[in-house]
């Protein structure tokens, strides 16, 4: 199975509507794949907040309205921030019955007041155990950070290094939310506290955007990138149902299965896009994915291993932290970056001689995880 075409819109605060963003990504993806839209047999639409934020559900039919006369199966997938990763997982399994499938992830989040946006995003947490107790996602990840610091000696300086690295990468990515926005270490360290120890620049922005993938059963050209591992795992939704706050079991299970399919280990991955919605999430991901031992993510950060030119670059597009996080589009955007890198088309942020790239897409605070491994 192969990724034949990829596309994404600019991420950021945009004027376009959900249908306009989706249409842009879709048309660019079929053009990149060299396929007429009539050759697409199924479409998966990944979207999280269309209902609470845009009063627009049944996005499958909205997408159909953009393709008059094409009455193929179109299915909306929602698993919070892992929606596009889950949609890709399902689409790859459906390639056993079809030849070409599109995944389009889209989200519009910036046209509301912050209260309504925060309430909508919080719906990815348990209603009774989390939402009604006032546990927001910044607070949840602050608890993760506090525990990681207590158990392993991770510091605020380590988190700041992650943020700085992501912003430096985003400045080489014209489609990133923070492209051409200079963010310095001093700005990061002195930014307002959101939920201790997390500061403003430890948190991903609220973004609009869309990304699309064309998945094909057979290879058509040298630009097609093979998917050698695809796994999805789910865990309990609330922290009070977890034994460990510094590791996400769903990520470990999904990674183990994806590595088994690919016939590799985490040590053989050349670069990765991880779900760094908060800086601490990047360290947790590095450890869950087997890039290092539990508690040793901080050492990789301090040694510069995750920077461009390091042993294992992470978030080459800027990550969720600086590329942006339009929730339903994020998982597809990660795969867009993996494909772009493996094709050798990433420009200034190109990883040299990369063979294996990995995407790690989390829904909620570790409730769902999709891991995909692609090979050049």
CATH of the domain at 50: 3.40.47.10
Residue-level pLDDT at 369? 98
Distance of alpha carbon 132 from alpha carbon 139, whole angstroms = 14
**348-360: b (≥16 Cβ within 10 Å) or e:** ebbbeebebbbbb
Asked whether residue 288 is domain-assigned, the answer is no
Residue-level pLDDT at 116? 86
pLDDT > 70: what percent of the chain?
100
Asked whether residue 99 is domain-assigned, the answer is yes
What digits encode the pLDDT tens for the residues 209-238?
999 999 999 999 999 999 999 999 999 999
pLDDT of 180 higher than 90: yes
pLDDT of 45 higher than 90: yes
Asked whether residue 211 is domain-assigned, the answer is yes
Asked whether residue 266 is domain-assigned, the answer is no
Confidence of residue 188 (pLDDT cuts 50, 70, 90): very high
Closest of 165, 186, 150 to residue 303, by C-alpha = 165
At 42, is the secondary structure helix, strand, or coil? Answer: strand
CB 183 within 8 A of CB 304: no
Region 148-168 average pLDDT: 98
Q: Which of 81, 203, 292, 369 is catalytic?
A: 81
Q: Which of 177, 325, 360, 372 is catalytic?
A: 325
Residue-level pLDDT at 350? 98
Asked whether residue 171 is domain-assigned, the answer is no
Asked whether residue 124 is domain-assigned, the answer is no
195 catalytic, yes or no?
A: no
What digits encode the pLDDT tens for the residues 247-294?
999 999 999 999 999 999 999 999 999 999 999 999 999 999 999 999
CB 320 within 8 A of CB 341: no
Distance of alpha carbon 370 from alpha carbon 232, whole angstroms = 4
What digits encode the pLDDT tens for the residues 110-135?
988 888 888 888 888 889 988 888 88
Q: What is the mean pLDDT of the chain?
A: 96
**Can you spell out the DSSP letters for 242-305?**
-S-SSS-HHHHHHHHHHHHHHT--GGG--EEE---SBHHHHHHHHHHTTSS-TT-HHHHHHTTT
Residue-level pLDDT at 119? 86
Asked whether residue 18 is domain-assigned, the answer is yes
- Pull the structure tokens for residue 143: 């608890």
Asked whether residue 153 is domain-assigned, the answer is no
What are the residues whose beta carbons fall under 8 Å from the beta carbon of 69, sequence distance 6 or more?
none
- Pull the structure tokens for residue 135: 């546990």
Question: How many separate domains does the chain show?
Answer: 1
Distance of alpha carbon 289 from alpha carbon 283, whole angstroms = 10
Please state the length of the chain. Answer: 376
pTM value? 0.95
- Pull the structure tokens for residue 32: 């990149």
Residue-level pLDDT at 201? 98
- Domain limits for position 42: 2-113+207-216
31 catalytic, yes or no?
A: no
pLDDT of 95 higher than 90: yes
Distance of alpha carbon 46 from alpha carbon 332, whole angstroms = 9
- Pull the structure tokens for residue 153: 């000696």
């Amino acid at each position: 199975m192969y990724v034949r075409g990829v596309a994404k819109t600019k991420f950021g605060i945009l004027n376009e509507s959900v249908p306009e963003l989706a249409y842009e990504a879709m048309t660019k993806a079929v053009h990149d794949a060299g396929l007429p839209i009539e050759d697409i047999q199924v479409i998966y639409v990944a979207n999280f907040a269309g209902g609470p934020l845009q009063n627009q559900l049944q996005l499958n039919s909205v997408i159909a309205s953009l393709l008059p006369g094409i009455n193929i199966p179109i299915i909306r997938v929602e698993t919070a921030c892992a929606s596009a990763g889950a949609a890709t997982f399902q689409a790859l399994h459906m390639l056993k019955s079809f030849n070409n499938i599109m995944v389009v992830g889209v989200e519009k989040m910036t046209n509301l007041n912050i209260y309504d946006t925060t309430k909508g995003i919080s719906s990815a947490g348990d209603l009774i155990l989390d939402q009604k107790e006032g546990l927001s996602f910044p607070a949840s990840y602050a608890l993760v950070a506090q525990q990681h610091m207590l158990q392993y000696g991770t510091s605020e300086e380590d988190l700041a290094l992650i943020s700085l690295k992501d912003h430096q990468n985003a400045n080489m990515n014209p489609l990133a939310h923070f492209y051409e926005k200079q963010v310095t270490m001093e700005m990061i360290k002195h930014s307002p506290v959101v939920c201790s120890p997390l500061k403003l620049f430890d948190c991903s922005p609220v973004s609009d955007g869309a990304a699309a993938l064309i998945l094909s059963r057979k290879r058509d050209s040298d630009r097609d990138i093979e998917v050698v591992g695809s796994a999805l795992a789910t865990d309990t939704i609330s922290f009070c149902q977890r034994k460990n706050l510094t590791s996400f079991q769903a990520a470990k299970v999904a990674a183990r299965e994806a590595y088994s399919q690919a016939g590799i280990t985490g040590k053989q991955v050349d670069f990765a896009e991880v779900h760094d919605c908060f800086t601490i999430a990047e360290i947790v991901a590095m450890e869950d994915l087997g890039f290092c031992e539990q508690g040793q993510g901080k050492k990789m950060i301090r040694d510069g291993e995750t920077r461009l030119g390091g042993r294992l670059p992470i978030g080459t597009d800027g990550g969720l932290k600086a590329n942006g996080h339009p929730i339903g589009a994020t998982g597809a955007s990660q795969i867009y970056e993996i494909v772009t890198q493996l094709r050798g088309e990433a420009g200034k942020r190109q990883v040299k001689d990369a063979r294996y790239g990995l995407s790690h897409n989390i829904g909620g605070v570790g409730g769902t995880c999709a891991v995909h491994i692609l090979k050049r």
